[in-house]
Structure 1
Amino acid sequence: MGRLIFFFFSFVFSASVAQEVVVLDAESHEPIVNVVIYNLDRSKTALSDVNGKCNLSIFEKNERITFKHLSYEIYRSSKSQIERRRNHIFLTMKAEQLDEVVMSVSKWEQQKKDIPNKVAVIDARSIAFGNPQTSADLLQNSGKVFVQKSQLGGGSPMIRGFATNRLLLSVDGVRMNNAIFRGGNIQNVISIDPYSIKNTEIIFGPGSVIYGSDAIGGVMNFYTKGAFLSQGDSLTYAGNANYRFASANTENTFHFDFNLGKKKWALLTSVSYNDFGDLIMGSHGPDSYLRPMYVIREDGMDRLIENPNPRKQVTSGYNQINVLQKARYRPNHMWDFSLGTYFSQTSDYDRYDRLVRPGRDGYGLRSAEWYYGPQKWFMGNLQVNKKGNGNFYDAFKVTTAYQLFEESRNDRAFQDVELFSTKEKVSSITTNLDFENKRIGKLRLYYGGEYLFNKVRSNGSVANIETNEVSNAPSRYPDGSTWQTFAAYTNAEYKASPNFTLLSGLRYSHVWIDAVFDKSFYPFPFDDADLSTGALTGSLGFSWFPKADLQLTWNASTGFRAPNIDDVGKIFDSEPGSVVVPNPELESEYAYNTEIGIQKNFKDKVMFKGAAFYTYLVDALVRRDFQYNGQTQIDYKGELSNVQAIQNAAKAYVYGFEFGLEAFLSENLSLASNLTLTKGIEEDSDGTDTPGRHVAPTFGDFHIVWKNQKLHMDLFFNYNGEISHDDLALSERSKTYIYDADTNGNPYSPSWYTLNLRSKYTISNALKASLSFENLTDQRYRTYSSGIVAPGLNAIFGIDYTF
């Protein structure tokens, strides 16, 4: 009898557990409290508890059940379908709720409405719908960041008139900028796999108080997916598989990720592989953008051959692999440990803008080969988080990381047998200690310290492609040079009233450079570069709601960029018609910025956002004419070239306006638009004014969005304004081979537009398909300063499977 009672209660308990559902956030996999669950006529209701759990025993097996929460999209299913999904329900947060909390401004979670800085958030749902080819395209899809591309394997963001080493990249709280980030266009953002990104936050304007050197124009923080734990004692698993095809470059992309989780530990593996063919440009546009000929090596000779399809940008294709592995251990609610390893590697890929340069006599092409070797990036990142009960903090986190960057440049002139190569490796060690204290009444304090160390290994070689003989050649940078910095910061948030928040911060950074020059090849008039410099930066701003539907913000901040190894030690780097030489006598450049913002909500139907900004840059590090051993021109690789160097030779000011509009016409139909206008001038020490090199043209977009439970569609228009010849930077005017000619025969960047359509259809809870058409009118255009011509009509197909 006792055994019978035992089996009876075991059966009842098993049946009860089998009908228990766990409601989780689709991104973080954390439980959601107070989710209302009900049937069609609302005669039966239930509520999820603090662990996200709820018993569904009151519902019939095939009864339609609705899951509803104020901050999440409504989810509908039946109990039988839920059982097939292992009794786990994943809800997607509404876009307007996602914007409420950001981490980038202080490295801790803050309400976005309390922050005076302009911060754009690109959430996981937007990334999945945009289905970007690379992380550079992810930024461009936001409509708020301008992206330049020298080649298909590239993407250099521009924000508020600044780019390259005046913008900071961060991955999971670790600075990606290293000692050889250059003033020319930088392609490192493509090392970040868009399929591994949970969300991206972009800070507009200086972020030096928290992020130190380089954060003058803005900060781009990429937060990757984390390993998630099981909500019970059992082992849980989940995963995704994705495929993407694009017609303009016959792209084939494959992605897979898989998560295993127990209550205290979890593992996540993510792998992506991309194969990109040669990119085909549009049909309607300037003939000067076409690729009428290219070089092949045949019978020991370089030959110019006719391109059978001049719209095909031969040889722009490449491939890439990205791998992410994360492990998480949470022994209790106080401690949380996370270890991540990241790896990215491209194949060799051609620098397309150098391959289309005309020959020195105006005929043919100047280069037979010009390609980057594999771009490699590895990072190991250990993060330790602890909550509460400290004397001076409520939480702290330690982030320590090791990164290894590897890149190379290889070029050979037409009909030359010598292939020149330089290869660089940068080892980077980063340690951050960050504290949060929110127990001082209305004041919240954030403070911490940072230490970074970079070591640069660089070597050069020249190979005879006929005899295969290899000899030493000058390196690009002083081999063994180091760059390091130590910093301490504090940031304070004071909520003076429910509708007024004050935010201020202060940081001191000190930077050291040690570089010894090798005089084996060139008789430099100096032996080394030994730099020790400090910088104090600060910020002050407020967020004010004079009315519940109106927000006003103001922010003033300073930023700085300390010289790096690329600035002081670049050894004879060739630019078209010029050669760049080292200059060890450099100082930091400083930026002074102010901005005002407004956000107005019209009856929850229309949302308007606007911002105006002004940035003044002093002691600007710019490339200008220079003398090498008293000479203004030298012979370099057989060409008489002007001598230039990076110098503190200019001041600059940039100002502009940014606008955003969202309109909700019905439950299914909405509109969205962005517009950015930027102007910038560089003023040389002799008083000469020239247009800023990284000031993007006026650009914007306009979206018509329709969606329901199954279908999401977006018909949108992209627009870029013209940059006339007079408004082109001096360094850009010499690049006639990437610009169109105006009526006077001078190079300029024409305006352009594209019409595009994206769509995504939910076939089932597990299976989704997307179909997009970019550049429907098949325009032929180059984005400003880009070498590669943008895709023509491009059909993109994607399939996503979740298990």
Structure 2
Amino acid sequence: MKKNYLCLFGLLTLTTQLSFSQEVTDTIKTQNIEEIKINSKKFKIDKNQTPSQIEIISKEKIEFQNFQTTADMLANSGALFVQKSQQGGGSPVIRGFEASRVLLLVDGVRMNNLIFRAGHLQNVITVDENFLETALVQFGPTSSLYGSDALGGSVNMITKSAKFGNGFSGNVNTRYSSANEEKSGYFDINYGATNFASLTAFSYNDFGDLRMGKKKNHNGDFFGERTTYVQTTDNVDVLTTNNNKYLQVGSGYKQYNFMQKFTYLSKNNIKQNINFQYSTSSDINRYDRLTDKSSTGLRSAEWYYGPQKRLLAVYSLEKENLFTNTDFKLDAGYQNVEESRINRNFGSANRNNRIEKVGIFSLAANFETKLNKGNLYFGIENYYDDLNSSAFRENINTGLITPLDSRYPNGDNNMMRNDVYLSYSSKRYKSTNFSMGGRIGYAILNSNIADNSVFPLPFSEIKQQNLTYSGNIGVVHNASENFILKSNLSSGFRVPNIDDLAKIFESGAGTLIVPNKDLKPEQTVTGDLGFVLKSKTNAHQFDITYFYTQLYDAIVTDEFTFNGSNTYDFGGGDVRNVIANQNLGKAFVTGFNGTIKTELTKNLQFNGSYNFTLGRVTTEGNKRPLDHIPPYYGRLGFSYTPKWATFEAYMLFNGKKRLQDYSTSGEDNLVYAPANGMPAWETYNFKVGTKQIYNFTLFAGVENILDTQYRNFASGINAAGRNIYGGAKYSF
């Protein structure tokens, strides 16, 4: 089977890029044409006529699936993989790329900033799924559209908009889940007049400690049970026996989200929008670190992220037909992100505090015009990121504050990106569509150390200037009514940020990550080849996409020397192996995605998806596993949709991650996996949602029906056991 895969992969020469088509009429109704709102304009997207692989998660899907967080929503789509180090997290993986190599956007504005790390992130959960109108997942490099970081793909989370209309309307949602005693609520109210609209939304989530499955996974042994935890009373740490080893004590958290939008349409058809979003949380325990073993039983008494805060404010101005049938949109935005890491070893009085505060300013001008039976998009984007990194050590007994090495340089840290882009999509030929685009930019990074006394480095500043560029071309050929061939070629880039270049980090795997100021940007070239087989009525469809990505100057964490030594002694017997991010030659990622949809009867449909990925780093002729590569995974399900409700029964599945396929960098978290690697697993699930009855919509379901105990690859917490949930929505 492997040889067959490799033969198919060797045929790949072309890659992926999204093409928007407004030529599709509203009268066409198929399962492949979906409406999505980009830059405040609605586009009809026919998946069969876009050269890229995309996944659109609609508002209807989001509401019916009724997941707890946006990370869970993405994971259960079957289209991508999500890693978790704690319940309050979720790091999307697209085609074997994760974290800073996947671009996250909210309403088209970049969330990625100068401290997005190559490891695992939890930023996606700061966008509440109840706020979403749509989520658009684009596979393969999308740097031509969005710029740096979009190597594996991008996730654009598009929130609900304020709507013009007659007076007030709104929604109230509630939900309860048994696996973590979740109590969640959501409320929005819209006021619409002829030329003014306002939308106010608020949500609250209270997630208790997560209960894992109790039944043995037939593919592996019991693993990850929480037998002990640390209790601290009067500043004294006590190792405590857990009365319920299936309850993951310390995994609960709370989150609060707020959104306010205003839209005003002037008499000369100039539309002005204000988009304000704010999200914050309670402290979120880094659950995997709380389970690290030591001679005392557990290494850490405390290890948590402080409240994760995200603020977004965007002012937009739009004008159709600004000149010669060209539409214009201007976005001016500001984001403020605060993250903190607090940890204290068992029995120690010293609590370490590291705080990162990031401010992001953005300005973008976007244009769209008709050209030769196609659409031409072009514009300018500017982003400026600023970071303040600080740290201190607090004695919990005396209150004494002493200096501590910060995670990043403690002086001035900033990064500026200036890009120009151009994209064109055409339906000039009856049976063939094509798209092409390009982007060129310039990135500047500055970082300096104000106080070098705590952790002495051999340099006091880091400065980089990089010219960036990317391009794409894609073709869709409709060979017949039943067969469509798609091919694409695109490149992507990622400019090293502060986290790549200047981070000082004590890893839980007994290593110390030190700065490397000589990093260069990493680049990819990706080829896709896909085909679609479908019936004339679109009642049955099968499609498959093969891809091959070549990664140049791949940034990989590997052995390094610091001040001439490959180890660093913190004192007290704490000696760490030194590692650093480095450009280590070439790497490749290859694989395929297949989906099937078939209408068995009028209201009964079968859906399935399967994803396979393989990644290797090539150094001096030797190949070794690339990090973040998940095992095969997918989703199979039946949905039944009578007039009054929707029923769905589905299975999620993951393959085994073998020991020899784990990366040696530590990013795959082998330390949090069973001794023989992560076993395969599958879960069975059932959901139902009614249509609106007297303004009420009801939701209920059972997830992981068999109560299987399992853990996702690279994750540090077990997944939920059997979860019975119920919710209701009232619209007025």
Q: Is the 1:136–1:156 contact (alpha carbons within 8 Å) kept by the matching residues of 2?
A: yes
Map 1:349-498; keep pairs closer than 5 Å: 349-359=284-294, 361=295, 364-391=297-324, 394-438=326-370, 440-479=371-410, 480-498=412-430
Q: Whole-Å Cα distance in 1 between the matches of residues 160 and 668 of structure 2? A: 44
The answer to whether structure 1 residue 798 and structure 2 residue 727 are counterparts is yes
2:645 to 697, 703, 711: 711
> What's the CA shift string for 1:451-482, capped at 9, x where partnerless?
00000011000011111111221211123200
The aligned residue for residue 143 of structure 2 is: 208
Deviation at 1:701, TM superposition (A): 1.0
Q: Which moved more, 1:779-788 or 1:634-643?
A: 634-643
TM-score by length of 2: 0.93
Can you give the 5+ residue segments of structure 1 that lack an aligned partner in the other structure?
Answer: 1-33, 35-68, 73-93, 743-747
Deviation at 1:737, TM superposition (A): 4.5
The aligned residue for residue 610 of structure 1 is: 544
The aligned residue for residue 702 of structure 1 is: 636
Deviation at 1:549, TM superposition (A): 2.9
CA RMSD of aligned residues (A): 2.0
Can you give the 5+ residue segments of structure 2 that lack an aligned partner in the other structure?
Answer: 1-24
Deviation at 1:536, TM superposition (A): 1.6
SS across alignment from 2:507: strand
1:259 to 168, 190, 194: 190
Deviation at 1:602, TM superposition (A): 1.8
Q: Whole-Å Cα distance in 2 between the matches of residues 568 and 253 of structure 1? A: 40
The answer to whether structure 1 residue 579 and structure 2 residue 512 are counterparts is yes
Q: Which moved more, 1:665-674 or 1:294-303?
A: 294-303
SS across alignment from 2:565: coil
Q: Is the 2:38–2:107 contact (alpha carbons within 8 Å) kept by the matching residues of 1?
A: no
Do the aligned partners of residues 572 and 675 (structure 1) sit closer, same or farther apart at CA in structure 2, a change above 3 Å counting? closer
The aligned residue for residue 13 of structure 2 is: none
The answer to whether structure 1 residue 509 and structure 2 residue 438 are counterparts is no
Do the aligned partners of residues 275 and 192 (structure 1) sit closer, same or farther apart at CA in structure 2, a change above 3 Å counting? same
Q: Is the 2:446–2:463 contact (alpha carbons within 8 Å) kept by the matching residues of 1?
A: yes
Q: Is the 1:573–1:581 contact (alpha carbons within 8 Å) kept by the matching residues of 2?
A: no
The aligned residue for residue 5 of structure 2 is: none
Deviation at 1:428, TM superposition (A): 0.1
Do the aligned partners of residues 644 and 106 (structure 1) sit closer, same or farther apart at CA in structure 2, a change above 3 Å counting? farther
SS across alignment from 1:428: strand
Q: Is the 1:102–1:112 contact (alpha carbons within 8 Å) kept by the matching residues of 2?
A: no
Count residues with an aligned counterpart. Answer: 700
SS across alignment from 1:273: strand
The aligned residue for residue 30 of structure 1 is: none
Q: Whole-Å Cα distance in 2 between the matches of residues 339 and 312 of structure 1? A: 43
The aligned residue for residue 667 of structure 1 is: 602
The aligned residue for residue 160 of structure 1 is: 95
Q: Whole-Å Cα distance in 1 between the matches of residues 481 and 311 of structure 2? A: 47
Q: Whole-Å Cα distance in 1 between the matches of residues 243 and 610 of structure 2? A: 39
Do the aligned partners of residues 112 and 785 (structure 1) sit closer, same or farther apart at CA in structure 2, a change above 3 Å counting? same
Deviation at 1:337, TM superposition (A): 1.2
Q: Which moved more, 1:626-635 or 1:262-271?
A: 626-635
**Larger RCO, structure (CA 8 Å, separation 6 or more):** 2
SS across alignment from 1:289: coil
Deviation at 1:107, TM superposition (A): 10
SS across alignment from 1:566: helix
Q: Which moved more, 1:635-644 or 1:727-736?
A: 727-736
Deviation at 1:687, TM superposition (A): 3.5
Map 1:53-202; keep pairs closer than 5 Å: 96-98=32-34, 103=38, 112-202=47-137
Q: Is the 1:676–1:698 contact (alpha carbons within 8 Å) kept by the matching residues of 2?
A: yes
The answer to whether structure 1 residue 548 and structure 2 residue 469 are counterparts is no
SS across alignment from 1:740: coil
> What's the CA shift string for 1:595-646, capped at 9, x where partnerless?
0111121243211111000001011111111111111101237411011111
> What's the CA shift string for 1:228-265, capped at 9, x where partnerless?
001xxxx4211000001110000000000000010000
SS across alignment from 2:214: coil
> What's the CA shift string for 1:316-371, capped at 9, x where partnerless?
00000000000001124732111110000010010011111111x4x611111110
1:238 to 145, 169, 180: 169
The aligned residue for residue 338 of structure 1 is: 273
SS across alignment from 2:454: coil
Do the aligned partners of residues 95 and 406 (structure 1) sit closer, same or farther apart at CA in structure 2, a change above 3 Å counting? farther
Q: Is the 2:368–2:375 contact (alpha carbons within 8 Å) kept by the matching residues of 1?
A: yes
The answer to whether structure 1 residue 693 and structure 2 residue 693 are counterparts is no
The answer to whether structure 1 residue 620 and structure 2 residue 575 are counterparts is no
Q: Whole-Å Cα distance in 2 between the matches of residues 500 and 104 of structure 1? A: 27
Q: Whole-Å Cα distance in 1 between the matches of residues 150 and 724 of structure 2? A: 37
2:659 to 725, 745, 748: 725
Deviation at 1:97, TM superposition (A): 3.8
Q: Whole-Å Cα distance in 1 between the matches of residues 389 and 97 of structure 2? A: 27
The aligned residue for residue 679 of structure 2 is: 750
Q: Is the 1:104–1:201 contact (alpha carbons within 8 Å) kept by the matching residues of 2?
A: no
Q: Is the 1:476–1:573 contact (alpha carbons within 8 Å) kept by the matching residues of 2?
A: no
1:738 to 660, 663, 672: 672
> What's the CA shift string for 1:743-778, capped at 9, x where partnerless?
xxxxx0100010000111236151011111000001
Q: Is the 1:574–1:580 contact (alpha carbons within 8 Å) kept by the matching residues of 2?
A: yes
Q: Whole-Å Cα distance in 2 between the matches of residues 173 and 731 of structure 1? A: 33
Deviation at 1:119, TM superposition (A): 1.2
2:693 to 764, 768, 778: 764
Deviation at 1:104, TM superposition (A): 8.8
> What's the CA shift string for 1:676-732, capped at 9, x where partnerless?
011111123x44322121111100111111111112110001110001111111234
Q: Is the 1:622–1:650 contact (alpha carbons within 8 Å) kept by the matching residues of 2?
A: no
Q: Is the 2:59–2:132 contact (alpha carbons within 8 Å) kept by the matching residues of 1?
A: yes
Q: Is the 1:431–1:452 contact (alpha carbons within 8 Å) kept by the matching residues of 2?
A: yes
Q: Is the 1:129–1:760 contact (alpha carbons within 8 Å) kept by the matching residues of 2?
A: yes
TM-score by length of 1: 0.85
Report the residue type matching 1:689 in the other structure. K
Q: Is the 1:340–1:380 contact (alpha carbons within 8 Å) kept by the matching residues of 2?
A: yes
Indicate the structure (1 or 2) with the bigger Cα radius of gyration.
1
The aligned residue for residue 80 of structure 1 is: none
> What's the CA shift string for 1:389-411, capped at 9, x where partnerless?
514x5201111110000010011
Deviation at 1:656, TM superposition (A): 0.4
Q: Is the 1:255–1:272 contact (alpha carbons within 8 Å) kept by the matching residues of 2?
A: yes
Q: Is the 1:356–1:737 contact (alpha carbons within 8 Å) kept by the matching residues of 2?
A: no
Task: Return structure 1 stretches of 4+ with deviation > 3 angstroms.
Answer: 69-72, 94-97, 101-114, 572-575, 731-737
Do the aligned partners of residues 733 and 648 (structure 1) sit closer, same or farther apart at CA in structure 2, a change above 3 Å counting? closer
1:782 to 700, 711, 732: 711
SS across alignment from 2:665: helix
SS across alignment from 1:116: coil
Q: Whole-Å Cα distance in 1 between the matches of residues 391 and 147 of structure 2? A: 32
> What's the CA shift string for 1:414-468, capped at 9, x where partnerless?
1111111100000001111111110x32242111111000000110000111111
Q: Whole-Å Cα distance in 2 between the matches of residues 730 and 666 of structure 1? A: 50
Report the residue type matching 1:373 in the other structure. G
> What's the CA shift string for 1:481-539, capped at 9, x where partnerless?
00111010111123231221111111112110011123122321112101001112110
> What's the CA shift string for 1:99-125, capped at 9, x where partnerless?
6x6749999776544421111111000
SS across alignment from 2:148: coil
SS across alignment from 2:72: helix
Q: Whole-Å Cα distance in 1 between the matches of residues 341 and 635 of structure 2? A: 36
The aligned residue for residue 5 of structure 1 is: none
Q: Which moved more, 1:471-480 or 1:160-169?
A: 471-480
